[in-house]
Structure 1
Amino acid sequence: MIVGALLLLLLTRAGTAQIAETRRDMVFRKIDGQELKLDLYLPEGEGPHPIALVIHGGGWFRGSRRSMNATLLVKLLARDGVAGASIDYRLAPKSPHPAQIEDCRYAMQWLLANATKFGLDKKKVMACGASSGGHLAGLLGAQANLADPNSKDRIARERTRPDCVLSFFGPMDLASDDEETNAAGVRLVKQFLGVRDRSESALAAARLASPLHQLASGAPPFLFIHGKQDRLVPVKQSHSMARALKKRGVPSSVLEVRGGHGDFTLLLAASRPGAEPKYWQEARAFLKRHWLK
């Protein structure tokens, strides 16, 4: 609780002046008796603005669009004139995979269908998130575009694949039996998939939910930021995905940071505009080169 309160205070001081307007509690989907909402943060300056689909972490079973890691990303990206849409999605175990990725796809389509209304640039969409949110962002980028151009539903006609992916310590291979992954990480994956063991059917389900195993042609640039001492999601997960992307000629980069699962984000949250840690300066350079160009 103390760490959470500290992070909230730091975020409040970091870059809020660059968010000109916030539209909260917009319902983008109704499903399974739930109203899924997003908060849209519009930066200063004239649009259309590049848009970041911000996906919260929480092990797929908790968290919300106002979780600390989601708020951090929104505020950081606003410094570069990027609009941020922080979304909710259905949670496990009540709603196992693929509910989460379906909601993320729909949120992206909803934003694109309403881009003109909100002053958003439909040609510059990035999916980003931390931990499980990083996984879902990666899965959006890995899977092929599932738009239905012949649909009568204007939302369904929009694309589902972003132009860039930013993953903070997100798992890329849920089928991995890496000994570096701790027991907590294994339990979270099983709960997310709705399985109890490591049978062949469970491994097949894990591969279907893994960006590494779902990598289709035409993938966008990927940027990974990962703690060297992460035991929940070992940093080699990001490196494995980056290698697979590079083999396909897709720009990708892994920025290793000292710390465990998300520890280093506290320092990033405390940074002032123009005085961010070196790795975030490198991240901004990557995004400007491959996405905001």
Structure 2
Amino acid sequence: MTDVQPVPVPRKTLTHANCVVSTPLGYRPLHLDLHVPPGDGPFPVVLWIHGGGWMTGSRVWTVDQQFHERMVARGYAVADVDYRLALEATYPAQQADIDAAVHWLRHHASALRIDPGRFAVLGESAGGQLAAVAGLTGAAETAIQAVILWYGPADLSNLRNQDDPFTFPAILLGGPLAERTALARLASPLHNIHPDAPPFLLIHGTEDETVPFAEALGFAAALRAQGVRCDVLPVEGAGHVFAGASVEVGTLTEAGADFLDDVLGRGAI
């Protein structure tokens, strides 16, 4: 029996709903929802990129149920971004979808009251991989000025079960990882680091068994070795999706806003 999803809760902060940002040939149109603070702006914008192992999820999924209210109150616009899931299209289609959203937002920045020079991405889990690569590879119209990762994987080329074609990363890449080494490295934030990368904040549970905390520490060390700022906020006792965390997830949203205030300039209204 198919699970019956709950009726959506009205989103009081929503300013522009179901904006079509891309129409890839042969696929469904891709959308974003935009939440903009009241006032003239221009406001810095945070692109929210959901997780779900590249196989499930929706742009309206958030870990912190008050995420939009907190960010808008701090003076940040939030764009909830669509991307194609792994059974719809293989990588790098997902990366193209994120880039299309960034390009659309920047093209319409004036009309949307957002600042084209202050774009950040915040991704969780699989969305963290997409957010990190967007931050590391974006340029000109797709440039990103700050990246926040919630328990995102850094290296897809060094995972277990390299010969299994049915793991989520293998489905994303279109075949067993052992046969997709070059593509796995292309999709791995760890292998896209360069000295001009934007600053990063990694927020990660110390007891995460899905994406180990050690992976976040290794990624941070690699960024710092290239002279890139990378702050790490350990969430003591937390597993994946901050399960078992001893702090409220809202405090982690606020920590991200503090980081953005520091690297993008004060965003509060």
TM over 0.5: yes
- Give the aligned partner of residue 90 of structure 2: 96
> What are the residue-to-residue correspondences of 1:104-253 with 2, within 5 Å?
104-145=98-139, 147=140, 159-177=141-159, 187-196=167-176, 198-199=177-178, 201-253=179-231
> Cα gap change, 1:144/1:217 in structure 2, threshold over 3 Å: closer, same or farther?
farther
AA at the equivalent of 2:22: R
Aligned residues: CA RMSD: 2.7
Normalised by the length of structure 1, the TM-score is 0.79
For 1:88 and 1:136, locate their aligned partners in 2 and report how far apart those are by CA, in whole Å. 12
- Could you tell me the TM-score, scaled by structure 2's length? 0.85
Change (3 A) 1:250 1:73: farther
Q: Say whether the 8 Å CA contact 1:50–1:292 is kept in structure 2.
A: no
1:50 to 38, 44, 48: 44
CA contact (8 A) 2:135 2:144 kept: yes
Instruction: Tell whether 2:40 aligns with 1:26.
Output: no
2-structure distance, mates of 1:52, 1:136: 14
In structure 1, distance between residues paired with 2:133 and 2:200: 11
Q: Give the CA deviation at 1:282.
A: 4.2
Whether the 8 Å contact between 2:67 and 2:253 is mirrored in structure 1 is: no
Change (3 A) 1:120 1:248: same
The answer as to whether partners of 2:70 and 2:253 remain within 8 angstroms in 1 is no
Equivalent residue number for residue 151 of structure 1: none
> d(CA) in 2 for partners of 1:194 and 1:76?
38
Give the % identical residues.
34
Q: Distance in 2 between matches of 1:268 and 1:97?
A: 34
1:228 & 1:80 partners in 2: Cα distance? 28
Q: Does 1:287 align with 2:266?
A: no
Q: Is the 8 A contact 1:22 1:42 kept in 2?
A: yes
Change (3 A) 1:30 1:280: closer
Q: Which amino acid aligns with 1:189?
A: P
Q: Deviations over 1:176-204 (max 9, x none)?
A: 247xx9xx9x92211111112x42x4222
CA contact (8 A) 2:137 2:192 kept: yes
Q: Is the 8 A contact 1:115 1:122 kept in 2?
A: yes
**In structure 1, what is the equivalent of residue 241 of structure 2?**
262
Counterparts of 2:233 and 2:60 in 1: how far apart (Å)?
A: 25
Change over 3 Å in CA distance of 1:22–1:95 after alignment to 2: same
CA contact (8 A) 1:141 1:165 kept: yes
1:195 aligned partner, one-letter code: G
Give how far 1:265 is off: 9.1
Call closer, same or farther: CA 1:132–1:106 in 2, change over 3 Å: same
Give the Cα separation in 2 of the matches to 1:265 and 1:101: 31
Q: What letter is aligned with 1:260?
A: G
Count how many residue pairs are aligned between Structure 1 and Structure 2. 256
State the Cα distance separating 1:71 from its structure 2 match: 6.1
Q: Is the 8 A contact 1:230 1:259 kept in 2?
A: yes
SS of residue matched to 1:162: coil
